[in-house]
Amino acid sequence: MSTEIADHYAQKLNQETIITQLKAAYPNGPTHFQLAPIDQLHIGGIKASLKLIDRIQAYSPQSVLDIGSGLGGLMRLASERLEQSITGLDITHGLNQINNQLTALSCKDTSTSLITGDAHALPFADQTFDLIIFQHSLLNMPDDVQVLKECQRILKAGGRIIMHEVLQGPQFSEMVYPVPWARKQEDSHLIQEQALLDLLKAANFSIECMDDWSQEALAWRRRQATKEANIEQQKPPVSPAMVLGPEFKQMGANVMRNLSSQAARVVEIVAQK
């Protein structure tokens, strides 16, 4: 298990403050949008998650695995809109602990479950799931080949992977850090588009579709920067800094810079076993 990844997400995590302030601010339970500042930290925010859920619905899977589920924003949204069971796996146990607490605060009934584990050695039997989601999680995994091999193993015949991932852009040499998924270059595992497609094919997946979300992602990050500047004085109950620390402000600025310079891209890929 990669302790570097777990440490990145755990070192600034403020579990007690997150839960205490949510309970005080929302005694009847927070909505998905009120939780979004901490549980929708991927590029594109809650709207990107809703787009992924639309994609999931089109395939009608009976069992779904969210690899790198974080604080569970995608899982809670999906469980509200889908009838299928959803399992979340994350390498950072502290994120899973808060995820469970957020679900208890915000959802009366949910068909989700959580496991602390490493995607390089998935703790599931062969052919367990119909669909696997990666939402900004492959970028934290140093051995893509092993991760995809494991996905191939646990997917049922005809099962699918849906990836909403950050990749290297044509100007990758201009990439700057820190970013939300890595404080330094050696902890970031972005790969090129063609390299990812080749890895999927080598793992016996067929590519069904690929969409570039980069311009939409950049527009979203610009809107977020304006929103964050405007609410800084309002002191909202929860903020990304409670998860990623005070560096988040620089991380957000660097994401916008990396997308603007085409050092990074955001894509959605669907591949079938």
Q: pLDDT value at position 227?
A: 80
Q: pLDDT value at position 67?
A: 97
Q: pLDDT value at position 144?
A: 95
Query: Does the structure show a pLDDT above 50 at 1?
Result: no
Which structure tokens are listed for 11? 């070192």
Lowest mean pLDDT among 7-16, 94-103, 253-262: 7-16
Please state, rounded to an integer, the average pLDDT across all residues of the chain.
91
Query: Does the structure show a pLDDT above 50 at 252?
Result: yes
More confident residue, 233 or 112: 112
More confident residue, 105 or 108: 105
CA angle, corner 199, sides to 198 and 200, nearest 5? 90
Backbone angles phi, psi at 161, to 5 degrees: -110, 135
Q: pLDDT value at position 228?
A: 77
Q: pLDDT value at position 194?
A: 96
Query: Does the structure show a pLDDT above 60 at 24?
Result: yes
Backbone angles phi, psi at 189, to 5 degrees: -125, 50
Closest by alpha carbon to 41, among 229, 263, 224, 268?
Answer: 224
DSSP string, 62-74: SEEEEET-TT-HH
Cα(25)–Cα(39) distance, rounded to whole angstroms? 17
Determine the 3-state secondary structure of 52 from DSSP.
helix
Work out the angle between the directed axes of helices 32-39 and 73-81 (0-180°, nearest 10): 150
Q: pLDDT value at position 225?
A: 85
* For range 20-36, the mean pLDDT: 93
Q: pLDDT value at position 48?
A: 94
Cα(252)–Cα(232) distance, rounded to whole angstroms? 14
> pLDDT tens, 131-165?
999 999 999 999 999 999 999 999 999 999 999 99
User: If you search the block for the tokens 């009847």, which residue do you land on?
Assistant: 28
Q: Which fold has domain 3-272?
A: Rossmann fold (3.40.50)
Contacts of 27 (CB under 8 A, 6+ apart): none
* For range 99-122, the mean pLDDT: 87
> pLDDT tens, 193-238?
999 999 999 999 999 999 999 999 999 999 988 887 776 666 789 9
Q: pLDDT value at position 161?
A: 98
DSSP string, 119-178: GGG--S-TT-EEEEEEES-GGG-S-HHHHHHHHHHHEEEEEEEEEEEEEE-TTGGG--S-
Query: Does the structure show a pLDDT above 70 at 84?
Result: yes
Backbone angles phi, psi at 136, to 5 degrees: 55, 50
More confident residue, 9 or 223: 223
Cα(106)–Cα(118) distance, rounded to whole angstroms? 27
Query: Does the structure show a pLDDT above 70 at 27?
Result: yes
Q: pLDDT value at position 13?
A: 79
Does the N-terminal peptide bond of residue 27 adopt cis geometry, omega within 30 degrees of 0? no
pTM of the model: 0.92
